[in-house]
Chain A
Amino acid sequence: MIQVDQFAKQYGRVQAVKGISFTAYPAEVLALLGPNGAGKSTTIKAITGLLRPSSGHIRLANFDVIKQATEAKMNLGYVPDRPYLYQKLTGRELLRFLCQLRHVKDAESKAQHWLEFFGLVDFGNELIETYSHGMRQKLTFIAAMIHEPAVLVIDEPMVGLDPRAAIQVRELMKDYALKGNTVLLTTHSMEVAEAVADRVVVLHKGQIAAKGEMQDLKQRADENLEGIFLRLTQELEVVA
Chain B
Amino acid sequence: MILFAMRLRGLLNDLKKRPGRYLFGWFFLALVFWGILAATRYGVGFIDRYPAVGSIADAVMQRSLEGLFSMLTLGVAFSVLTTAITTLYSSHDLPFLLSLPVPPERVFYLKVAETYINAALLPAIFTIPVLLGLGLERSAPWLYYPLALFSLLALYAIPVALGSFIALFLMRIAPAGRVKEISTALSVVLAAALIFGLRALRPEQLAAMSPEAFEALLQRFAEFRIGWLPTSWTSGAVWGALEGKVTPAIFILAGLSLVLLFLVARLAAFAYRDGWIRGLDSGAPKLDSRAKGPSFWERPFYLLGRGGSIMVKDNRLLLRDPSQWSQLLVLTALAGVYLVSLSSVEVDLQRFKDAVGTMNLMFLGFLMSGIGIRMAYPAVSLEGEGFWLLKTSALKPKQIVMTKFWHSLPLMLILGLGLGTSAAFLIDLSPTLAIASPLAGISSAFVISGLGVGLGAAFPRFDATNPSEIPMSAGGLLYMTLSLIYAALLTTVFAWPAWRTLRNPTEVLWLQSEGVLFLLGILLLTLLGTFLPLIFGSYSLSKYEPGD
**A18 interface residue (CB < 8 Å to B):** no
Question: Which chain A residue has the least Cβ–Cβ distance from B313?
Answer: A97
**B468 interface residue (CB < 8 Å to A):** no
Beyond A52-B543, A123-B285, A143-B389, is A97–B312 a contact (Cβ under 8 Å)?
yes
Contact, CB under 8 Å: B287 / A123: yes
Contact, CB under 8 Å: A126 / B309: no
**How many A-B pairs with Cβ below 8 Å?**
96
CB-defined contacts of B386 to chain A, threshold 8 Å:
84-86
**B216 interface residue (CB < 8 Å to A):** no
**A234 interface residue (CB < 8 Å to B):** no
**B282 interface residue (CB < 8 Å to A):** yes
- Bound-state CA distance A125–B289 (Å) is 7
Contact, CB under 8 Å: A86 / B313: yes
**B204 interface residue (CB < 8 Å to A):** no
The stretch of B252-260, B392-400, B413-421 that contacts the partner chain = B392-400
**A106 interface residue (CB < 8 Å to B):** no
Q: Which of B285, B291, B306 contacts A100 (CB 8 A)?
A: B306
**B388 interface residue (CB < 8 Å to A):** yes
- Bound-state CA distance A126–B290 (Å) is 11
CB-defined contacts of A80 to chain B, threshold 8 Å:
388
CB-defined contacts of A89 to chain B, threshold 8 Å:
313, 316-317
Segment 279-295 of B: residues with Cβ below 8 Å from A: 282, 285-294
CB-defined contacts of A240 to chain B, threshold 8 Å:
none
- Bound-state CA distance A139–B393 (Å) is 16
The interface on chain B, measured as residues whose beta carbon lies within 8 A of the other chain's beta carbons, has a size of 37
Question: Which chain A residue has the least Cβ–Cβ distance from B286?
Answer: A126
Q: Which of A51, A84, A112, A123 contacts B385 (CB 8 A)?
A: A84
Besides A50-B546, A127-B320, 8 more A-B contacts (Cβ < 8 Å) are A50-B545, A71-B394, A73-B393, A84-B388, A85-B389, A89-B317, A98-B393, A123-B285
Beyond A70-B395, A97-B312, A101-B393, is A122–B289 a contact (Cβ under 8 Å)?
yes
Contact, CB under 8 Å: B282 / A121: no
**A150 interface residue (CB < 8 Å to B):** no
Question: Which chain A residue has the least Cβ–Cβ distance from B399?
Answer: A70
**A133 interface residue (CB < 8 Å to B):** no
Name the distance in Å between A143's Cβ and chain B's nearest Cβ.
7
CB-defined contacts of B243 to chain A, threshold 8 Å:
none
Binary contact track A115-145/B, C-beta < 8 Å → 1, others 0: 0000001111111011000000000000100
**B496 interface residue (CB < 8 Å to A):** no
Name the distance in Å between A237's Cβ and chain B's nearest Cβ.
27
Contact, CB under 8 Å: B287 / A130: no
Q: Which of A74, A88, A127 contacts B394 (CB 8 A)?
A: A74
- Bound-state CA distance A166–B226 (Å) is 68
Segment 70-96 of A: residues with Cβ below 8 Å from B: 70-71, 73-74, 76, 78, 80, 84-86, 88-89, 92-93, 96
24 contacts between A and B (CB under 8 A): A50-B545, A73-B392, A73-B394, A73-B395, A78-B388, A78-B392, A84-B384, A84-B388, A86-B384, A88-B320, A89-B317, A97-B309, A97-B313, A98-B389, A100-B302, A100-B309, A101-B309, A108-B291, A122-B288, A124-B288, A126-B286, A126-B288, A127-B282, A130-B285
